Amino acid sequence: MSLLDDPQRIAEVDRADMRRLLRAFPEQLRRAWDLTAQASIEPLEFDGVAVCGMGGSAIGGDLLRSYLQPKLNKPIQVVRDYELPPFVDGGWLVFAVSYSGNTEETLSCAREALSRGCSLVAVTSGGRLKALAQEHNTPLIEVPGEMPPRTALAFLFVPLLRTLLLALDDEARKAAEREWQEALEQTQERAALYDGKPEAENPAKRLARALFERIPAIYGGALTEAVARRWKTQINENAKQPAHWDALPELHHNEIVGWEWPSALKGRFVYVLLRDPDEHPRVQKRFHITRELLEERGLPVFEVQGQGEGRLARLLTLVQLGDWASFYLAILNGVDPTPVALIDAMKRRLSR
Ligand code: PA5
């Protein structure tokens, strides 16, 4: 029997039970949607949206931008830094997202947002960010605690999405709400597939096998660029493995030259193309040529796509596939997917 089909062996490696949290993703999406309603944020007017966060708390901002920017005539900016860009002024809506509530870069931006008179919304499970929001009486979306931040993605993405849907006109909002319903159904189906099916019928397990003992290079396009970044970081944190991401069309202007050399690295990489039916026709052609060029060089390449009609379902199910593939990769590597010892050590040293 394949190791990936043996629940007992999986449980021995997955000591903190990340599998349970991955399975709960669709349910978390639902809970996060309801929880945002309870926070009763009024329809907001703003000149732009900044999402401040780091790591697992920032990626929701990237996904939001990929999904919503084409529907919103205001800029969405993700800030992974200590300082807000100078153009973020009192007319901006700023989300400070920190799962723990104690990430220093995010706290610094939240304080800056308050001092510039921005509308601040804090999304956190507690910590100093919660205290800051309470002290300044700004909207707070308090999310359930006790999870690794990256497994709380639903709680760090949906509050931003649901809040910003209020800024769309009626027709666009209704269309987005229909996409939301579809996303719930599709993620439910995929959770059952990725969790329950044996390796032969399970795309997440098969992908993990293909990535095993290689350095994955994940390439996205307009909608899937943020997902490529999520896959990369999930492979790092869950499987404790190096990985790399890039996006088309930009990668055709630099990254591709690196496929040539050094020859000693050739067998080390595996390439995954995150495709989407809405790609710009020229990007579609570029993906096609990318695949040809990689194959001509004998480099392993896989193509995957999200599930569903709507962009939101496609986006979230593609995230889900990467989450599960990185989980199974951790199992193949024999490492518990949950602990992130080096991140913790870095934070400890910084606080000395
Ligand atoms: O996955 C992780 O643990 C990290 O990427 C964290 O999300 C990151 O360090 C920021 O911490 P927090 O999410 O608590 O703000």
Output the pLDDT for position 85. 98
For residue 106, give the ligand 1 atom closest to its CA: 15
Rounded distance from Cα 148 to ligand 1 centre (Å): 8
Output the pLDDT for position 160. 96
Residues 6+ apart with CB under 8 A from 166: 41, 42, 43, 44, 173
Weakly modelled stretches of the chain, pLDDT under 50: none
Mutational test site, ligand 1, from 103, 143, 147, 236, max ligand atoms within 8 Å of CB: 103
Output the pLDDT for position 265. 84
Ordered by start, the domain boundaries in the chain are: 3-11+196-333, 17-168
Long-range contacts of 333-336 (CB under 8 A, 24+ apart): 333/212, 333/239, 333/240, 333/241, 334/13, 335/13, 335/239, 335/240, 336/13, 336/14, 336/15, 336/16
For residues 22 and 327, the answer to whether their CB atoms sit within 8 Å is yes
For residues 239 and 207, the answer to whether their CB atoms sit within 8 Å is no
Residue identifier of the C-alpha nearest atom 5 of ligand 1: 55
Tens of pLDDT, residue by residue over 181-210, are 999 999 999 999 999 999 999 999 999 999
Nearest to 99 by CA among 62, 55, 138, 68: 55
Residue type, 313: A
Q: Which CATH architecture has domain 17-168?
A: 3-Layer(aba) Sandwich (3.40)
Rounded distance from Cα 351 to ligand 1 centre (Å): 15
Nearest to 149 by CA among 100, 104, 109: 100
Rounded distance from Cα 149 to ligand 1 centre (Å): 6
Rounded distance from Cα 126 to ligand 1 centre (Å): 13
Residue by residue, DSSP assigns 134-160 as HHTT--EEE---SS-GGGGHHHHHHHH
For residue 97, give the ligand 1 atom closest to its CA: 15
For residue 148, give the ligand 1 atom closest to its CA: 3
Domain 3-11+196-333 has CATH 3.40.50.150: no
For residues 230 and 326, the answer to whether their CB atoms sit within 8 Å is no
Domain 3-11+196-333 shares a fold with domain 17-168: yes
Output the pLDDT for position 40. 64
- φ and ψ at 179, to 5 degrees? -60, -35
Output the pLDDT for position 42. 67
Dmax (CA) of the chain: 60
Tens of pLDDT, residue by residue over 90-118, are 999 999 999 999 999 999 999 999 999 99
Q: Which residues line ligand 1 (CB under 6 A)?
A: 54-57, 98-100, 103, 106, 148-150, 237, 340, 343
For residue 100, give the ligand 1 atom closest to its CA: 14
Residue identifier of the C-alpha nearest atom 1 of ligand 1: 56
The catalytic residues are 237, 253, 347
Beta bridge partners of 129: none
With DSSP H G I counted as helix, E B as strand and the rest as coil, what are the percentages for the chain, rounded to 5? 60, 15, 30
Q: To which residue do tokens 């990237």 refer?
A: 62
Give Cα separations from 193 to 176, 188, 219 (angstroms): 25, 9, 24
Q: Give dist(CA 197, CA 240) in Å, integer.
A: 24
Residue identifier of the C-alpha nearest atom 14 of ligand 1: 100
Rounded distance from Cα 56 to ligand 1 centre (Å): 5
Residue identifier of the C-alpha nearest atom 7 of ligand 1: 56
Residue type, 136: H
Q: Which two tokens stand for residue 329?
A: 């990769």
Residues 6+ apart with CB under 8 A from 4: 10, 199, 202, 205, 208, 209, 328, 331, 332
